[in-house]
Amino acid sequence: MADHNDLDHVTGKTTTGHEWDGIKELNTPLPRWWVITFYLTIVWAVGYWIVYPAWPMLWSNTTGLLHYSSRADVAVELANLEMIRGDRMVALGAAPLADIEKDPALLALARARGKTVFGDNCAPCHGSGAAGAKGYPNLNDDDWLWGGTLDQIMQTIQFGARSGHTKAHESAMLAFGKEGVLKKEQIVTVANYVRSLSGLSTSQGYDAAAGAKIFADNCVACHGDGGKGNQELGAPNLTDKIWLYGSDEATLIETITNGRGGVMPAWVGRLDPPTIKALAVYVHSLGGGK
Amino acid sequence: MNTTAPPIEVEIDDYGPLYAARKKVYPQSVSGTFRRIKWGLMAFCLGVYYLLPFVRWHRGLGAPDQAVLVDLPNSRFYFFFIELWPQEVYYFTGLLIVAAITLFLMNSIGGRIWCGYLCPQTVWTDLFYAVERMVEGDRRERMKKDAAKGTLKLQRFAEITLKHSIWLMIAWWTGGAWVLYFNDAPTLVKQLVTFQAPMLAYIWIGILTTTTYLLAGFMREQVCVYMCPWPRIQAALTDEWALNVTYKYDRGETRTSLKKANELRALGKAVGDCVDCYQCVAVCPTGIDIRDGAQLDCIQCGLCIDACDTVMKKIGRETRLIGYDNDINIQRRQAGKPPIYRIVRPRTIVYSALIATVGAIMLYALLTRSLLDVNVLHDRNPVAVKLSDGSIRNAYTVRLLNKRGFDRVIAIDIDGPANATVHVVGVDSVTPDRPMIVLGRDQTTELRLLVTAPSENNPEKSIPVRFRVTDIGLGEVASATDNFVTP
């Protein structure tokens, strides 16, 4: 602490008495307005404590005279957003599905809305970029189990597949092995035949004619002549390069033995109609839509 | 510098005050060269500030016709023939660099020219002082009126009211001119008058009215001394050749009264030209004594030069006892050598060259900038998609920019994977494999672009792809490159 205040002879000013390494601090008082401003900020801070939530208590905090809360603020903002969005969503709901992609503004809205909703609801199964995974279709490609037109996509989103909804896509692949329809060696033969349909290699010494016979007897009903598939039944095209569960022999044997029947939930009732529409347009615009 | 100042008698206060009250400055009116320069520059600066929003500039139908406009809702900045987009704000960086170096150059030539003549704080404070002088009278009268406390007569009350009213009107007009830069000026004036203008405009006018009124009316020189960082920076930029407002103590000392000086001169004794009349202090807007040498509080406005010159003329001595000069010349004169002035020297040459270089780069960038632009972003999730026939498709987000004031038809071509086809989502092309879209004037458009290529022709993992957009009418081309990836 300062013992005594000196007079600095160079400037003619008093010092504060503080000295560091021979350097003394001149007593240069602050301007009055500065000090007043400083006190005003303190007064302001006290007012702030009283008016706004400020003091943390053990389990909560003081709510302040204004009872301000950021949560309420967000709720208001969200309500405002809904209001702003309202008109445009109504326009989206009213537009015929086929015309949305032709209107750049509506397309942009549908894609933006669709992308968000997709991320919230569809991404867990189909991936955030709709690239799918084993058993979950890639929505970017041009292969569709239940059809890839706008209407078909919307239909699938609305009611799902094997979802339990009365309008849902139904039918499942029979478990040919488990049900005892086909024997083990027949399954291996027909699996090789299926691989040959899309130009994949087959194991040595497999009986192509027998495979064709088994296929014709058991598979054609759903997968069609030549294995081209049937979108009415969600039966995949077996001649193309896209395989939902995998195209290797072991996977095919597994598929034929135990059958397949993936479930897609129905979204009608969970998402409002304009949102489902936006979602359909978004999925269609990913690039695989017919 | 004057090192022979006598020691000052000081009362020692053991504790010292916690704060110091401001000593009010009463600058006296003055006339002369520098006062005229200051009037001229004030008129010019204020004229530009208040009138610029009303200058029109024709840009074609549908585009704003205000010469200088900051169009925040549409993210455009207009400056006469220049129209800047948000991604081009680096021009402002260039402008700031040029402004900074110009300040350096001004400093190396003539000291704090900015502080003394051009700074808004100086200009508006000067204007407010002029109003004050007009209403309340000059230095002496104002001091007398302020000293006569407790006897507030009606006339004095009227004076004070009038002064503050005029101040507020100027301040209000200052705020008003500010908002005009952000909207069509004539329209906004109409809206403001009829109370139809957006709330934000009124708020900004309020903010600028308050700050102008407070800073120019009350804070005045304190802004320069306590609040502004420039005096510190500019003081560091000045050098021994820079001309600064200088009291030539070699000529002025020893100071003494006019009468005594004449007596001593008659006896053949050496006396200085300074007659200690304190006119230089009386006219100073920051209330300092320039005879104490260069100091932080000095904004170098040159008014003390005018005051001193007036006195010197009256007593028949040579003018410019205070003038723009530097220490080198004071020392040279003391040594009996003629003064030298060097404006062209390495420092000023470097600054000028830097200004010219940055200016030239900016101009070149501005003149050669593209008015059609394309940006491409590859989809990351998924990076590539295998289609049922085995071909590969990549998706891209393409952003097209049309900086021209008319709609254009744009064709999109790609150079990349062999046998690739390109499709724009939502666009049915008349010509297959060459999508065309209409790009609105002064707009950007985002497209989803799908590029599909047979995999057997494209064995590489990653193939460079170039997106070319062509204005069908003008032939203007822009392109961007990315990669085509196979899974």
pLDDT digit string, tens, across residues B47-77: 999 999 999 999 887 789 999 999 999 899 9
Using pLDDT thresholds of 50, 70 and 90, give the confidence band for residue A2. Answer: very low
pTM for this one? 0.75
Around A141, how many Cα atoms within 13 Å sit in the side-chain half-sphere? 25
Over residues B314-337, mean pLDDT: 92
Please give the full DSSP string across B289-353, using - where no structure is assigned.
-GGG-S-TT----SHHHHHHHHHHHHTT--S-SEEEE-HHHHHHHHTTPPP---SSSHHHHHHHH
Mean pLDDT for all residues in chain B: 90
For B214-241, the pLDDT digits (tens) are 999 999 999 999 899 998 888 788 888 9
SS3 B71: strand
Q: B43 to each of B52, B56, B135, B283, B301, how far by Cα in Å?
A: 13, 21, 20, 21, 16
Joined tokens for residue A228:
């081209």
Q: Are B101 and B91 in contact (CB under 8 A)?
A: no
Whether B385 has its CB under 8 Å from any CB of chain A: the answer is: yes
CB atoms B12 and A101 under 8 Å: no
Over residues B147-174, mean pLDDT: 89
Using pLDDT thresholds of 50, 70 and 90, give the confidence band for residue A191. Answer: very high
Buried residues in B14-32 as b, exposed as e (16+ CB within 10 A):
eebeeeeebeebbbbbbeb
Give B352 to chain A, closest Cα distance, Å. Answer: 39
Whether B16 has its CB under 8 Å from any CB of chain A: the answer is: yes
For A127-164, the pLDDT digits (tens) are 999 999 999 999 999 999 999 999 999 999 999 999 99
Using pLDDT thresholds of 50, 70 and 90, give the confidence band for residue A1. Answer: very low
Scanning B113-195, the segments in alpha helix (DSSP H) are 113, 120-136, 139-147, 154-180, 185-193
Chain A residues within 8 A of B226 when measuring between CB atoms: 31, 34
Residue B330 Cα to chain centre, angstroms: 34
Find the closest chain A residue to B13 by CA distance.
A14
CB atoms B22 and A31 under 8 Å: yes
Question: Residue B291 above 90 pLDDT?
Answer: yes
Q: Are A189 and A201 in contact (CB under 8 A)?
A: no
What's the pLDDT at B430? 67
For A248-262, the pLDDT digits (tens) are 999 999 999 999 989
What's the pLDDT at B11? 54
Joined tokens for residue B408:
């254009």
Percent of chain A with pLDDT over 70: 98
At residue A98's C-alpha, the angle toward residues A96 and A100, to 5°, is: 75
CB atoms A12 and B388 under 8 Å: no
What residues contact B183, with CB distance under 8 A and at least 6 apart? B69, B201
SS3 A62: coil
CB atoms B426 and A34 under 8 Å: no
DSSP bridge pairs for B468:
B413, B479
What's the pLDDT at B20? 76
Give A62 to chain B, closest Cα distance, Å. Answer: 32
DSSP bridge pairs for B82:
B79
Closest by CA position to B160, among listed B203, B199, B181, B131 = B131
Question: Residue B118 above 70 pLDDT?
Answer: yes
For A55-80, the pLDDT digits (tens) are 888 888 888 898 898 899 999 999 99
What's the complex ipTM? 0.76
Question: Residue B1 above 60 pLDDT?
Answer: no
Give B389 to chain A, closest Cα distance, Å. Answer: 6
Name which of A5, A102, A141 is nearest B388 (Cβ-Cβ).
Answer: A141
Name which of A127, A237, A287 is nearest B395 (Cβ-Cβ).
Answer: A287
Using pLDDT thresholds of 50, 70 and 90, give the confidence band for residue A5. Answer: low
How far, in Å, CA of A127 to CA of B383, rounded? 13
**Sole residue written with tokens 């994949």:** A200
Joined tokens for residue B239:
């050098």
